């Protein structure tokens, strides 16, 4: 009798446990990795949730660009200010340079201005920098990094991370999500997102380290403000300077 009761109990346990096992297998996939949807959903929740991110319409960044490349001379620290707004508009101004470098995207055209003049920059529409500055960046990963697929579980600085590759080169556009926190911690092999802090209920990386040949360039945000009222003129492509015409004698 005891044996029969034991057999029935084991059978009942298997019936209860089987659906949970099947759900987990479907959830993680046959390769044991979570689905892309899970990784992206967890990331959005980790930064503060879809509702909190969706409330942000504009953003203003004040910070410093630290250029540390020994072969190019002493470390250079250049103050900058960046403004961003929906949809996809942004401008970054380096305030310490005599030439007052600027670059951005006005909603239709990407541009850059420096001592040489004004030039078009097509990549500014979907660059990593454009995504970083976007007020609703966490909700727009698919837009900026199309063709995403989960490929493996790896490690960054000793911590496990899920790797999501895109339709562009892995070395520059793969996305690395921390397994423990769910946060995006690296883009490609060279951009590291660090020092997440909460602003208006949403976590933002206040330090972005960009590895470069012989050194690094780091963006440090000293202040981030959400939902300021911004003039569209901020993002407009500057007019190229016209050469003065010679007077007729």
Mean per-residue pLDDT over the chain, rounded: 85
200: its two tokens: 């208006």
pLDDT digits (tens, 9 = 90+) for 35-45: 999 999 999 99
Res 247 pLDDT > 50: no
What's the rounded Cα separation, in Å, for the pair 48 and 153?
24
What's the rounded Cα separation, in Å, for the pair 19 and 10?
15
What's the rounded Cα separation, in Å, for the pair 196 and 206?
6
* Structural domains of the chain, ranges and CATH numbers in brackets: 32-235 (2.50.20.10)
Return the half-sphere exposure (C-beta side, CA atoms, 13 A cut-off) of residue 121: 24
pLDDT on residue 128? 94
Identify the band that residue 87 occupies on the pLDDT scale cut at 50, 70 and 90.
confident
pTM of this structure: 0.81
Res 2 pLDDT > 70: no
SS3 of 36, please? Answer: helix
Task: Please name the residues in contact with 48: beta carbons below 8 A apart, sequence gap of 6 or more.
Answer: 198, 201, 202, 203
């Amino acid at each position: 009798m005891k044996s029969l009761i034991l057999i029935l109990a084991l059978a009942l346990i298997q019936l209860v446990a089987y659906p949970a096992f099947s759900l987990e297998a479907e959830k993680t996939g046959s390769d044991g990795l979570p689905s892309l949807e899970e990784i992206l959903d967890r990331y959005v929740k980790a930064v503060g949730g879809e509702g909190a991110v969706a409330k942000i319409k504009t953003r203003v960044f004040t910070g410093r660009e630290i250029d540390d490349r020994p072969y190019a001379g002493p470390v250079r620290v250049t103050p900058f200010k960046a403004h961003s707004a929906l949809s996809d508009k942004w401008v970054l101004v380096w305030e310490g340079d005599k030439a007052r470098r600027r670059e951005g995207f006005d909603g239709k055209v990407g541009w850059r201005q420096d001592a040489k003049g004004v030039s078009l920059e097509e990549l500014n529409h979907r660059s990593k920098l454009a995504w970083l500055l976007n007020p609703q960046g966490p909700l727009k990963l698919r837009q900026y990094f199309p063709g995403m697929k989960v490929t493996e579980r790896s490690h960054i600085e000793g911590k496990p991370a899920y790797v999501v590759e895109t339709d562009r080169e892995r070395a520059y556009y793969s996305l690395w999500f921390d397994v423990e926190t769910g946060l995006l911690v690296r883009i490609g092999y060279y951009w590291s997102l660090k020092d997440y802090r909460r602003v208006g209920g949403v976590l933002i990386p206040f330090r972005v380290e960009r590895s470069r040949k012989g050194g690094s360039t780091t963006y440090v945000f000293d202040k981030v403000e959400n939902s300021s009222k911004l003039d569209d003129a901020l993002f407009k492509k500057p007019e190229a300077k016209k050469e003065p015409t010679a007077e007729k004698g």
